[in-house]
Amino acid sequence: MKWDAGHQSSDVEDRRGQGGPAIGGAGLGILASLLLRTKWGWLILLVLVVGYFASQAILPHAGDSAQPQALAPNDTDAHFVAFVLDDAQAFWEKKLGAPPYEHAKLVLFTSSTSTACGLGQSATGPFYCPNDEDVYIDLEFFRTLDGLGAHGEFARAYVIAHELGHHVQTIRGERLRGSAKGATGGSVRYELQADCFAGIWAHSAFERKLLDPGDLDAALTAASRIGDDVLQKESTGRVRPESFTHGTAAQRRTWLKRGYDGGTIEACDTSGAL
């Protein structure tokens, strides 16, 4: 992927190293510390908490009010995330008509941080909080992607674009209706639409000649490797469709590619597609 090395963004808030609390609601901190001692603990934990923030009640936000700060010159992962964030948000500003697109903030953190959706933890993976309309990521997740076999910059870009897809949903009034899990539940439809929105941005990146050969395949591989069925099979040895929250590997690939091929919001209607 072509991007500007050393890119800075006024929409990035860096909370790394601020030592957030280690234990949060539902005992996630304790659960993480126990599971991560086992061979497949990190995969099990990812399956268990992947839908955590979608179902949280509105809680007081104790987040920092610090102004955006410059990222260190050698902080390559952070500069990359900042570039993808700014590029995707500039795209959505032009793409959306009414209501107009409003920028989300992207918060970099380590271990845990406070959000308007409760305590955010690295074990959850990247997530979007609709209550404060911010995206949160611990950059160590990129190492998790590598461990899952999802390599390459555009695999990482897809993850950021997916979370911004949730922000587009919020702006369009398409928040998750309830928290019904299962292969045809509201959560799966919501997540697949965010994949499709990520595909729309990827289509634009291709048209603007930002993609290198193999970039789309890297994103599709990432989508496949974080499908509910794949994660469940690798972590527990069996697949439980009744507990799906994000969709199967095949579904995630399909909807990402559908957004890429169609390039339109209309192509991303998951309401009656499952």
Asked if pLDDT for residue 201 goes beyond 70, the answer is: yes
The full set of domain ranges for the chain reads 12-268
**Chain mean pLDDT for the chain:** 86
d(CA 151, CA 131): 31
Asked if pLDDT for residue 64 goes beyond 90, the answer is: no
Regarding beta strands 12-14 and 105-108, do their DSSP bridges make them parallel or antiparallel, or are they unpaired?
parallel
Nearest of 50, 241, 223 to residue 152 by alpha carbon? 223
d(CA 55, CA 81): 26
Asked if pLDDT for residue 43 goes beyond 60, the answer is: no
d(CA 254, CA 214): 17
Percentage of the chain beyond pLDDT 70 is: 81
Asked if pLDDT for residue 247 goes beyond 60, the answer is: yes
d(CA 37, CA 156): 26
